[in-house]
Structure 1
């Protein structure tokens, strides 16, 4: 056997080592049934028996005694006092009932004794012989007496049970406390420890503790429940495990596979649409949701394919008004594959019996794999295996491999493949009252083994063509035979029949090509996709090439974390979905990054300010993507100039929501569904999107040193945005200060000043400080860009020295409101707003993230209260170094305290509801800066897991949140690894969380390439210098000169 590669195994007691789980169940049943019968006599409430399956397992099993009592009583809506642990067994309190249960338990134990599961004891002895550390962790306060009765107390080096938990104040399962304390007692690492549990709450604790392996023992036939709740491996008894070698193999390969994938071992219709978003495949040109091949759009499923920046505009009649909206178009669905048996119904996961299902999306190669075993109404069973990918090598190619194996049946199978262009946009419920019909059929057809659909968007006139090449194999032998094609407008389906014996496998390869008239000549669309499909080769060949390209991207962009498997998985999940949304294929596209990726229809696929959180990761890894996104704005500068001029402003004013041509896509009126009246919608006043664009231009230039881009595109764009802001500034001759009005900050809850009929706010602090910063950087660009190139820009836009002098004057005189404590007013008038009783609202509503909706439902306006959806003033400190912010404010003529950031953080976090996931990541970054590490980590993990757990209750189903995905990846580099790209030379000051033993990553900065390996004590780095000269790096406040190509190590 190979060397042991894990350190410890911590065993639960009841149901894992001893048979006492059954004793506990019996004791609980006797106690609760006795109590429930008493309540029937006293209150006349019908007696409903406490039973093992419906009550013990979900509410009591594995939990500390009093927690189990409270959990079950809550399930029956019984409310009694908690009491005190000293309560007698006759008292009607939670503790009294718990003590009564313990009395029953001891009586049964005394009568029947203790039996062990011999396979578990044998496994423990084998582990000890191999040098593995062993502990026991149990919620039971009877742990030691049971071990002594079983004669095995000496097998365990540490014991953390109900007695120890009470002494140390540990939380019960599903919190991981008893297991982490056991590990700490042994001095072992959590990620190198195995947890063995038989209860759902126990495997949840294993998952929550980030242990290397959680082994579920399914003695109750509850394998699926254990797997769903956190077990990595599930067996019915330890004897089925395969011994130490299986555990060693998990730590050698299985754990790493888990960190590189997302897996779902069940089909839950209520969660399916969110999972479809997270299982999406794509390549930056198009993205396809992870809907199952056999499912069409409906209550639980929503297949969707979206091509980057492919929009269409429709006019809907709403309450007597014409409302125009532009949407990301749901393109023809290339996924449909299914089969039927003889003349039976086509397979549909929502109608057949699912005996087993497992889906895994591998980030490393972008392949979605599914295994499903199903039975039809006649009991005929089939094993279906499918693989799906969108090629990262060729952006127009995709494929499905679909295999069907009859388990207990021989006969005629018909397999069907379709391409469906007769569809609408239907992925967002609140849009359903609008006209969502975007596609018009042009042609469709099938010939031989090729099927195709050609449609055109109804307004934008973009042709979309998809074709599929179909090949069928029986046990890997390609079959000849005829495909039967059926078509209707916008839809083609093709069927193939084969007689198949039990145990044989019928396999379909569906090779797909997708293109539009934006890239391919309109007259050759059908021919192009047909030729591509015919000449593409096998599914494996396409996958191999795609996987190679994915591998290249991961070699450049991966962030490897040791010690925290959950964070590692989610960081990679986020990088993967960013690449699905925007990849190197962007350099051929007129595209920018939609806020919800290529994963759904929320926000209509529009481009907002989210690139502020996304592009910095691309700046250091794939600057061509950043450049393409910025050029998207450059191409729409004339539309932005028109937009500014329409309001009487100069320069370029980009819209809050942008789509195909750069016009403002935000609605300016909205319908109140309760009153039926139309009112003003001020969302478009979020002019700070122009700050985000300017920040991205600046950081792209600062990080890449791409002067050519600046001279050709970036500087003109930057200066025109500055012009816009300057034209919004109004001088108060009395104070000598400039004000900016009619804007909304990032907060979103405040749309106008109370009592004012005019939309927008005055002197939003984030806006004014960032405008001052922008104008300062404009001077830097004038001073440092090539003067000949700059002269051409001056001539093109009429940019004069006098104008620059005016900008300098304004940047030193913008107005802020700051109180005596050094708190910056979010906007002029903010301090006069009413305070909110946050504790009262939390108690009343629980979830208060959308306080604006809560207040409006109460007939109140959020405009009147000190309440924010997300970071607003604090966004300044997210964009800029806190000392830079302080310097800007002082240049504006204000005195501020040394602890400016902390004072503002403490003030505003109490008044923020975090209705946006972006809010959590901003506050996490600032909390980390302020050494509020526990708060920072909590908010980071909430942001990091927000799409994975669908923290906002269904929004992930409408598309991933690209902004928070980008920001959480950057947090690992900026806040935890401690990188600062805002200085002229790289600065690094790591601050790794306790769990993180090691982090590795690469990136490019100012033409040099960096490779880092960081532990809690050391920084190892190598720099590949662009000119082979030593590179200056600031390491923990110490300036170092690093020779090119040589590893350097620093302790900190």
Structure 2
């Protein structure tokens, strides 16, 4: 049986190597290193990448006669390069070896999730039976954010002689990890300088061309028992050696990296900081001990324990989450990159994926969650400026964000099927502002952090509410407000068939989420201390506007058709798609929009969604919240209407996004649907099986990974943070009947929840806090005293008593 803490691959598979390199990425929230092999630096089989959080740069490119500007997360110099070749006694030197060499006989890769250590093993054998066993061990230090280490052991089996070794620090890198971007400008690094200190430390400094972020890297390379020679060029520095090895003997090469940038606080010269840190850094073994200890601390706070293969995948997902955003992130001005720090897809941008990530962090690492919401608050002036330029009030957050909060969504995108560059209208997804407000509110519910809610949280929520109020238009013909010219989460539909006007009217998710934001903003205004309330209402010129907010929460239009919620106004007039025909012809139709465009057709004409749209309402909002919003809008949605709506869109969704299976799995689990596990399992497999056929090689999908953790944490347990109690309403899922995890809730730290076959257990550690109040199914209220553990039988179980 596979360990739930190990992720491993046997055999070498060039076709899937880049996927493996993505999934074996190591990071610590400050920077990350793809799991590429040290011996190889080139496409298409391998793609080394090193990415520092928030290190963006923008370049101009000419595409289809138009000049475009794109901002990218920059691929930084490759520190891990190591080449070697054999020189047996009396023989000329052999080839430089790598896993792609014909003499490879065995290979294996193992990622130790608990320790954050990647191990790669190769065995080479030449025609005379002489073997060379190679082991690489690598980590990116979770305790000290600027450090990484790599140790390589080479063992001569059945021969003696010399081994030639060349270790490099390579600055000739570009951003080339996404094929469809390769026609665009991709050289971000300028002013490269390289050298070697008297202490034999390789160093490199450079900066990004336009953002002018300075980068300093220092690498200490030690080849045991050898003298080394250094060679510096304009783009890199190498350390060469030749080591005698006896039959059965070993040669060990260690590389320790220190990486600093000018984004660090307090500010310092990055190269000087890297060299000084490296001079004070101990050896590989000592670093490995403190690195493992740092990971132990994270697992203690955050592990979601589930047995079996699902548990192993969840450990991998949490491993990647904590490498992309860790406690080190709290000191950085960065958001949640949709692909983590594992690749260059989506250019490293921040979308709304944080809304899928923060619910987990709120309950385990609230300080980190707060920091990530503050990324949005620091960009609030830019969002307000964007709203003003568009003729609106409030804050209009960008669909894609990067360094400074401007809209980073590309103007054109390439359809690889047709080869055509097409207009990209996805910036019309204004609902990202509601996700920001939701992040604020959920964080407060979990932590009770009134200082945050009344400070930056209130500024965010009120500005988003002001934007929705400004965007909504009143139509006296139906006495309703309407939000026009937007896109929903679906992402397929960006206009009505044949219309030259971009966007759609009254997207149901957008409007309901806006109504929820307006309602919570009104609640917040009523709860603010009077002085703070007057300050905000006066400073934002909101005096008198709250009456309009009240009206909007009652009269914002939500369209319906055939007894279900309409995805947007006019959806019922679209054509039905022959799903069976397209599946028969194309197999994978996840990107149906590209298929239809290549056929000179448009997905705008059909009732077909890339991913959950109206159904996302059931993911982000509890049934009580949804019922309250719909009731106030005067269009009640009971359980029957919701079930019909879920069933309706299930049949019309291609699941072209990894988030789609997650949302469907969540909804069907809560509805006790018979095929809930089908969607849940697809969500778990999204990246590890690369179900989208190649996208994971360009970077993991962090929202989907974190969402699977939250599926266990909140979806299966019905866990809900209220102002006064934790609410629990577990639902049975045969494939996941045992689970356990710690949570933090409003000052209580280390609460542990267990769900085991019809029972729920709650442990509350001893503390100075009062009892923990719980609300169980049927609105049954119970308490658990500090230092106690209680178990409760769930409804339909033989015994409903607690102990």
Q: What is the TM-score when the length of structure 2 is the normalising length?
A: 0.95
Deviations 1:762-813 (A, max 9, x none): 000111111111011001111223333333333432332x111211111111
SS at match of 1:471: strand
The whole-number CA distance in structure 2 between the counterparts of 1:675 and 1:530 is 50
Deviation at 1:514, TM superposition (A): 0.6
Residue in structure 2 matching 1:973, options 713, 719, 732? 713
Deviation at 1:827, TM superposition (A): 0.7
Q: Structure 1 residues 489, 556: closer, same or farther in 2, change over 3 A? A: same
Residue in structure 2 matching 1:464, options 206, 209, 215? 215
Deviation at 1:1024, TM superposition (A): 4.2
Could you say which residue in structure 2 is the equivalent of 1:986? 726
Does residue 1041 of the first structure (1) align with residue 786 of the second (2)?
no
Deviations 1:265-294 (A, max 9, x none): 111001000000000100000011000111
Q: Structure 1 residues 736, 521: closer, same or farther in 2, change over 3 A? A: closer
Residue in structure 2 matching 1:690, options 404, 421, 433? 433
Does residue 1002 of the first structure (1) align with residue 747 of the second (2)?
no
Could you say which residue in structure 2 is the equivalent of 1:767? 510
Q: Structure 1 residues 625, 917: closer, same or farther in 2, change over 3 A? A: same
Could you say which residue in structure 2 is the equivalent of 1:861? 602
Q: Which moved more, 1:1008-1017 or 1:586-595?
A: 1008-1017
Deviation at 1:825, TM superposition (A): 0.9
SS at match of 2:158: coil
The whole-number CA distance in structure 1 between the counterparts of 2:244 and 2:121 is 22
Could you say which residue in structure 2 is the equivalent of 1:959? 699
Could you say which residue in structure 2 is the equivalent of 1:496? 241
Deviation at 1:352, TM superposition (A): 4.2
Q: Structure 1 residues 790, 416: closer, same or farther in 2, change over 3 A? A: farther
1:889-908 equivalences under 5 Å are 889-908=630-649
Could you say which residue in structure 2 is the equivalent of 1:887? 628
The whole-number CA distance in structure 1 between the counterparts of 2:267 and 2:38 is 29
Deviations 1:920-955 (A, max 9, x none): 0101111112111x4111100111011001111110
Could you say which residue in structure 1 is the equivalent of 2:80? 335
1:912-931 equivalences under 5 Å are 912-931=653-672
- Are the equivalent residues in 1 in contact too, given 2:180–2:416 (CA < 8 A)? no
1:635-654 equivalences under 5 Å are 635-654=378-397
- Are the equivalent residues in 1 in contact too, given 2:143–2:290 (CA < 8 A)? yes
SS at match of 1:649: coil
The whole-number CA distance in structure 2 between the counterparts of 1:326 and 1:346 is 37
Residue in structure 2 matching 1:394, options 144, 150, 170? 144
Deviation at 1:531, TM superposition (A): 2.3
Deviation at 1:472, TM superposition (A): 2.7
Deviation at 1:871, TM superposition (A): 0.6
SS at match of 1:275: helix
Residue in structure 2 matching 1:411, options 145, 151, 161? 161
Deviation at 1:990, TM superposition (A): 2.4
SS at match of 2:168: strand
Could you say which residue in structure 2 is the equivalent of 1:1032? 773
Does residue 739 of the first structure (1) align with residue 482 of the second (2)?
yes
Residue in structure 1 matching 2:374, options 613, 631, 634? 631
1:504-523 equivalences under 5 Å are 504-519=249-264
Could you say which residue in structure 2 is the equivalent of 1:534? 279
Deviations 1:250-279 (A, max 9, x none): xxxxx5xx2101000111001000000000
SS at match of 1:259: coil
The whole-number CA distance in structure 1 between the counterparts of 2:422 and 2:639 is 44
- Are the equivalent residues in 1 in contact too, given 2:194–2:205 (CA < 8 A)? yes
Could you say which residue in structure 2 is the equivalent of 1:279? 24
SS at match of 2:555: coil
Does residue 551 of the first structure (1) align with residue 296 of the second (2)?
yes
Deviation at 1:898, TM superposition (A): 4.0
- Are the equivalent residues in 1 in contact too, given 2:117–2:138 (CA < 8 A)? yes
Deviations 1:510-550 (A, max 9, x none): 11101101117887332321222222111111111111111
Deviation at 1:992, TM superposition (A): 4.1
Residue in structure 2 matching 1:754, options 480, 497, 516? 497
Q: What is the TM-score when the length of structure 1 is the normalising length?
A: 0.73
Runs of 5+ consecutive residues of structure 2 not aligned to the other structure: 88-92, 795-803
Deviations 1:974-1033 (A, max 9, x none): 222332236742111223433445322101122223212221032221224875322220
Deviations 1:158-198 (A, max 9, x none): xxxxxxxxxxxxxxxxxxxxxxxxxxxxxxxxxxxxxxxxx
Could you say which residue in structure 2 is the equivalent of 1:205? none
Deviation at 1:611, TM superposition (A): 0.8
The whole-number CA distance in structure 1 between the counterparts of 2:632 and 2:145 is 50
Residue in structure 1 matching 2:10, options 258, 265, 273? 265
Could you say which residue in structure 1 is the equivalent of 2:550? 808
Does residue 374 of the first structure (1) align with residue 124 of the second (2)?
yes
Q: Which moved more, 1:443-452 or 1:668-677?
A: 668-677
Runs of 5+ consecutive residues of structure 1 not aligned to the other structure: 1-212, 214-254, 474-478
The whole-number CA distance in structure 2 between the counterparts of 1:1018 and 1:1036 is 12
> Whose radius of gyration is greater, 1 or 2?
1
Could you say which residue in structure 2 is the equivalent of 1:945? 685
The whole-number CA distance in structure 2 between the counterparts of 1:944 and 1:766 is 25
Deviation at 1:893, TM superposition (A): 1.8
- Are the equivalent residues in 2 in contact too, given 1:650–1:724 (CA < 8 A)? yes
Deviation at 1:860, TM superposition (A): 1.8
The whole-number CA distance in structure 1 between the counterparts of 2:287 and 2:419 is 54
- Are the equivalent residues in 2 in contact too, given 1:822–1:897 (CA < 8 A)? no
What is the total number of aligned residue pairs between the two structures? 786
Deviations 1:191-242 (A, max 9, x none): xxxxxxxxxxxxxxxxxxxxxx4xxxxxxxxxxxxxxxxxxxxxxxxxxxxx
SS at match of 1:778: helix
- Are the equivalent residues in 2 in contact too, given 1:463–1:522 (CA < 8 A)? no
Moved over 6 A (4+): 520-523, 671-678
The whole-number CA distance in structure 1 between the counterparts of 2:62 and 2:446 is 48
Does residue 621 of the first structure (1) align with residue 364 of the second (2)?
yes
Residue in structure 2 matching 1:663, options 387, 396, 406? 406
Deviation at 1:646, TM superposition (A): 1.2
Structure with the higher fraction of residues in helix conformation: 1
Q: Structure 1 residues 579, 670: closer, same or farther in 2, change over 3 A? A: closer
- Are the equivalent residues in 1 in contact too, given 2:719–2:726 (CA < 8 A)? yes
- Are the equivalent residues in 2 in contact too, given 1:668–1:683 (CA < 8 A)? no
Quote the RMSD (CA, aligned, Å): 1.9
Residue in structure 1 matching 2:530, options 773, 787, 790? 787
Deviation at 1:446, TM superposition (A): 1.6
SS at match of 2:120: strand
The whole-number CA distance in structure 2 between the counterparts of 1:854 and 1:671 is 13
The whole-number CA distance in structure 2 between the counterparts of 1:979 and 1:521 is 40
- Are the equivalent residues in 1 in contact too, given 2:137–2:152 (CA < 8 A)? yes
Could you say which residue in structure 2 is the equivalent of 1:115? none
SS at match of 1:974: helix
Q: Which moved more, 1:338-347 or 1:320-329?
A: 338-347
The whole-number CA distance in structure 1 between the counterparts of 2:638 and 2:793 is 33
Could you say which residue in structure 1 is the equivalent of 2:800? none
Deviation at 1:1051, TM superposition (A): 2.0
- Are the equivalent residues in 2 in contact too, given 1:450–1:468 (CA < 8 A)? yes
Deviation at 1:671, TM superposition (A): 6.5
- Are the equivalent residues in 2 in contact too, given 1:697–1:718 (CA < 8 A)? yes
SS at match of 1:402: strand
Q: Structure 1 residues 393, 901: closer, same or farther in 2, change over 3 A? A: same
Could you say which residue in structure 2 is the equivalent of 1:1051? 793
Deviation at 1:379, TM superposition (A): 4.9
The whole-number CA distance in structure 2 between the counterparts of 1:790 and 1:378 is 83
- Are the equivalent residues in 2 in contact too, given 1:822–1:896 (CA < 8 A)? no
Residue in structure 2 matching 1:359, options 99, 104, 109? 109
The whole-number CA distance in structure 2 between the counterparts of 1:738 and 1:259 is 52
Q: Structure 1 residues 461, 813: closer, same or farther in 2, change over 3 A? A: same
Could you say which residue in structure 2 is the equivalent of 1:605? 348
SS at match of 1:841: helix
Could you say which residue in structure 2 is the equivalent of 1:186? none
Deviations 1:330-361 (A, max 9, x none): 01111111212233332222124211111111
The whole-number CA distance in structure 1 between the counterparts of 2:457 and 2:612 is 28
